[in-house]
Amino acid sequence: MQYFMSKKQLIISVVSIIILALIGGGILWYSKIYQPKQNSPITENENNQSEITNPPTGEAGQNSEIDTSDWLTYRNEEYGFEVKYPKEWNIYKKEDYVNNSRFANLYIKKENIDFYINIKNLLKDEFPICSGVSESPDGISILFKLVSINKYQNFESILQNCNKYSENNNCKASKYVVDGKQLFLIDSWDTLCGYPTAYYFSNDKLYILSPTWSNQVSAEKQKQYYDLFYTILKTIKFK
């Protein structure tokens, strides 16, 4: 009788071990297969503590050197920065777009913007857009704006927002140094109109520099616009 009970206990123990092993294996398999998506990691350029001498390039090709010796300088003492732009371009201020609903709908949206300038090679009321339906003027518009820090508290929150709208949760982000200040750069939003966007935190303010151009232009023209944006980006000086 004692032998029978011992054999029965042995069988029960073996069966229990097998069941526990199956349960553990199932949990491990489930966690690997259904693991929630994580934000793409922030990658940094190889020499993160140096100035941008070779800024990122657009998808169309390699960066080309752009002569900035005859560029004009916009300087704003109140908000503590300056930026250069081609002398043939136009620069428009916030007051130039008062009550301009089209500009507000395209570029301002619902952000709490303290200040902005619009730098572009177009006329004031010409706005390039990314659309497969309506025609868009062939040009580049760069919005340099200053907003109060609210939903964007740090670099990670910007990346999380980018991945929120990303098609494949694959935003490409980098950190760069311009004029001794560290900027956070979304190189690609992984969307149809994924223009690069630069961010710089300063106290309770956030500087944002973002370009827009038509997605109907040629690949070569897109490359030129990428190069122009990154060249303008590395001319910024903060106080």
Residue 60 within a domain: no
Residue 64 within a domain: no
**Would you state the structure tokens that stand for residue 73, as one six-digit string?**
């300088």
Once rounded to an integer, what is the mean pLDDT over residues 145-173? 77
Does residue 119 share a domain with residue 16? no
Q: Please tell me the total count of domains within the chain.
A: 2
Position 236 scores a pLDDT of 94
User: pLDDT for 34-44, tens place per residue?
Assistant: 333 343 333 34
Does residue 4 share a domain with residue 89? no
Q: Give the Cα separation of 179 and 27 in Å (integer).
A: 51
**Would you state the structure tokens that stand for residue 112, as one six-digit string?**
């709490």
Average pLDDT, the chain: 75
**Would you state the structure tokens that stand for residue 99, as one six-digit string?**
């009550």
Does residue 109 share a domain with residue 16? no
Weakest mean pLDDT among 118-122, 194-198, 227-231: 194-198
Rounded alpha-carbon distances, angstroms, from residue 19 to 6, 12, 22, 28, 30: 20, 10, 5, 14, 16
Range of the domain at 234: 72-238
Residue 23 within a domain: yes
Position 191 scores a pLDDT of 62
> pTM for the complete prediction?
0.70
Does residue 19 share a domain with residue 133? no
- Asked whether the beta carbons of 39 and 163 are under 8 A apart, the reply is yes
Residue 169 within a domain: yes
Residue 63 within a domain: no
Domain with 173 in it: what CATH number?
A: 2.60.120.1690
Residue 52 within a domain: no
For residue 76, report the phi and psi dihedrals to the nearest 5 degrees: -125, 110
Handedness of CA 117, 118, 123, 126 (dihedral sign): negative
Residue 110 within a domain: yes
User: pLDDT for 98-149, tens place per residue?
Assistant: 777 777 766 666 567 888 999 999 999 898 887 765 678 899 999 999 987 7
Position 170 scores a pLDDT of 73
Tell me: pLDDT of 91 over 70. yes
Burial classification of residue 45, based on how many CB atoms lie within 10 Å of its CB (0-12 exposed, 13-18 middle, 19 or more buried): middle
